[in-house]
Chain A
């Protein structure tokens, strides 16, 4: 019996079509080899929203009976490959209802592969990816995050480049040749076949040993039984909060112990406390009340609550005081204010470095002006040739 399963972890809405295309192509290509499969999105108890981590699966089996055996358990518990189409998701997935943080490699089977589309190198990615007891491989398809909007699809070949890599890491599931036939059948362009070929040849694969990676314990949460839960759909309120970091001055709201936003972000604000005028606008406008008020009246963006929307940067009246930086530039969720307090010079150096590394030019995903699609496509093509 040889049944294969692949998951694609993606950013809700922005990469819905991308992940769908990948899984659909896997099944169509497997059919070229006389196999049978199914492709489905994991739509559970939480809606798919902009940027929220979500999953798509493809399962391929030799025959219908084998497929049925496998699918009797709807959501796979082990996959041959985990495909990550936004490298910031390597920090973990809070997929469909905030029941804790799932390491990105949680379902990757021993000896399986995590495929990431990224410009980072393996060592950088391993700072984010949680440790695992079994060895697995890390494959990198060089490229930027392919984000689109709800109504458009950015056809930058990320889908077929992932398929080319997949044929390298799980060759027995579907061959490159079959993927290429399926690609041609769907898109009717040789260019996408060539992209899959190049990616197949260039994908960078390296082994990850047991215990290698991010050692932080992913936070988890025990769900109560029906008799313990509050009745009438009533959710108890959260206490108002008190002084900054439990001290006398400032203000820090008490936050939900189970509802965190660590992995919803694709970018985060960094604050220049030296130029801040304490105007309060970021604190007022933040839709997630993520700013804690420090005893000296500054505002510290708390990464537990920030979803990375960029409103604070928009409303800040001081040039370059708040800057949105790509989430991949960070490995922890530590307080910026505390860092600044401890060592101002060191903080200012850190701030400058982070901005240089990953200032996010765009305030939101999707397309905002005519011609943006063409511009980004050209950029993606340059990327794929690296």
Chain B
């Protein structure tokens, strides 16, 4: 157990962006291979990785590939030989790597990627949307959304620890809201390497390591006699990831003295009647609105989903069953989906089907393309959700918030 005085002397404060925080994590975690291909806003991490290498603070193979597809293929192979890896992309760049993204999970190759969330083209746009990272939600990627630059560095350590755990061996994508996190410099506590070493054991692939001394074949061609069993194995790994995440968060808290609950961050929900929930940096305006509405007597709260895969099903059922209405904010869209709602909305709604509470769930699509989720729009969403609580509707509504009518 580290005392808070210990931690203080073992951490330094820096003014860095979310991207820079993850680059710093790469150096502290002794990453062996980093691959890159520029696309905004992910490319900010490349810039900082290059600087750390140039300054002699990070020694690794740093390969700028000729495309995102190769970028993800290279780290996939590096991971197979037992190298700790880091990579990432944004928007359509992430999609260009899609084949490589899919095969990584089947091969059970851990990697940590940063997705600088960006709208998908066309139209060409730079702003934040979550559809890029969410596109891999069915494949076996673990998906996490960070809210602050501090959480970026902390989550990176957690991500390697969970991904490289032999019970899991699956890739993790850390999503960082483009601009709001990738380009915003905040005061961050950067731990000393000794703390990181205590938390993060070396990556050991054991008998799965591709090495001349350990002759194995990976990535075979199979037919219908095998595939279902292979998928079932990956499914079992994802199911196990849940406990590994909980365990890692507990250890993280005891070593670094911070972190909170692994899956959900709840804000002023104890006596709340109505809550909004969402992912990423929209936390900031929501917390402020919760405080202001509470001053006026509204019993409101906010819940942030930190891990989207594995989806925190028991936590969400337990949490949301306490409320009179829930509004789910999606910084994404899922066109033609049930009720034409967002991805998170439909996942939450499906999760709550097995709950006895039948809490009304309202869907909001907001902040697309990096549009600011303003204090005014958060108030509007609370108003709509409070109304649903009063009327006891079953939440058949989807609202687009902040769109020009």
Contacts and interface: CB of A to CB of B under 8 A. Distances in A.
Interface string A1-33: 000000000000000000000011001100100
Given A36-B187, A72-B289, A45 B122 contact: no
Nearest to A25: B15
A224 B186 CA distance: 36
Interface string A35-73: 011111101111100000000000000000000110111
A187 interface: no
B266 interface: no
Contacts of B123: 233
Given A36-B187, A227-B405, A72 B15 contact: no
B404 A223 contact: yes
Contacts of B222: none
A71 B284 contact: yes
B369 A38 contact: no
Interface in A187-212: none
Interface string A67-96: 011011111000000000000000000000
A69 B288 contact: yes
B42 to A, nearest CB: 13
Nearest to A45: B127
Nearest to B185: A39
Nearest to A42: B179
B205 interface: no
Interface stretch (B4-12, B70-78, B246-254, B370-378): B370-378
Given A43-B126, A44-B127, A74 B372 contact: yes
Contact of B372 (A37, A68, A75, A226): A75
A349 interface: no
Contact of A72 (B185, B369, B375, B403): B375
Contacts of A39: 15, 184-185
Interface string B169-187: 0000000001110011111
B146 to A, nearest CB: 15
B126 A45 contact: yes
Contacts of B40: 47
A73 B374 contact: yes
Contacts of B404: 223-226
Contacts of A225: 404-405
Question: Among A37, A44, A75, which residue has the most Cβ atoms of chain B within 10 A?
Answer: A44
A69 B405 CA distance: 29
B82 interface: no
B127 A72 contact: no
A72 B405 contact: no
Question: Among B122, B185, B284, B405, which residue has the most Cβ atoms of chain A within 10 A?
Answer: B185
A47 B403 CA distance: 22
B13 interface: yes
A75 B374 CA distance: 10
B284 A68 contact: yes
Interface string B110-153: 00000000000011011100000000000000000000000000
Interface residues of B, number: 30
Interface in B4-57: 13, 15, 40-41
A41 B186 CA distance: 12
Interface residues of A, number: 29
Contacts of B41: 43
Nearest to B178: A43
B185 A40 contact: yes
A221 to B, nearest CB: 13
Contacts of B184: 38-40
Contacts, number: 71
Given A38-B185, A41-B183, A225-B404, A72 B288 contact: yes
B358 interface: no
Contacts of B178: 43
Contacts of B179: 40-41, 43-44
A72 B126 contact: no
A352 B217 CA distance: 79
B183 A43 contact: yes
A315 B370 CA distance: 41
B310 interface: no
A71 B372 CA distance: 11
B13 A31 contact: yes
A68 B375 CA distance: 12
Given A40-B185, A73-B374, A31 B15 contact: yes
Given A44-B127, A68-B287, A233 B122 contact: yes
A244 B190 CA distance: 64
Interface string B273-291: 0000000000011011100
Question: Among A24, A72, A224, which residue has the most Cβ atoms of chain B within 10 A?
Answer: A72
A75 B288 CA distance: 15
Interface in A336-358: none
Contacts of A31: 13, 15, 187
A204 to B, nearest CB: 31
Given A44-B127, A47-B126, A68-B288, A74 B13 contact: no
A39 B125 CA distance: 23
A74 B180 contact: yes
A192 B201 CA distance: 44
A45 B123 CA distance: 11
Contacts of A45: 125-127, 369-370
Given A31-B13, A226-B404, A233-B123, A73 B185 contact: no
A48 to B, nearest CB: 9
B15 A73 contact: no
B15 A28 contact: yes
Contacts of B15: 24, 27-28, 31, 39
Contacts of B405: 225-227
Question: Among B41, B122, B184, which residue has the most Cβ atoms of chain A within 10 A?
Answer: B184
Contacts of B187: 27, 31, 36-38
Interface string B219-263: 000000000000000000000000000000000000000000000
Given A44-B126, A68-B288, 9 more contacts: A24-B15, A40-B179, A40-B184, A41-B183, A45-B125, A45-B369, A69-B288, A72-B287, A74-B284
Interface of A: 23-24, 27-28, 31, 36-41, 43-47, 68-69, 71-75, 223-227, 233
21 contacts: A24-B185, A27-B15, A36-B187, A37-B187, A38-B186, A39-B15, A39-B185, A40-B183, A43-B41, A43-B178, A43-B179, A43-B183, A44-B126, A46-B126, A47-B126, A68-B287, A71-B284, A73-B285, A73-B374, A73-B375, A223-B404
Interface of B: 13, 15, 40-41, 122-123, 125-127, 178-180, 183-187, 284-285, 287-289, 369-370, 372, 374-375, 403-405
Closest 10 interchain pairs by CB?
A: A72-B288, A40-B184, A72-B285, A39-B185, A225-B404, A43-B179, A225-B405, A74-B372, A38-B186, A41-B183
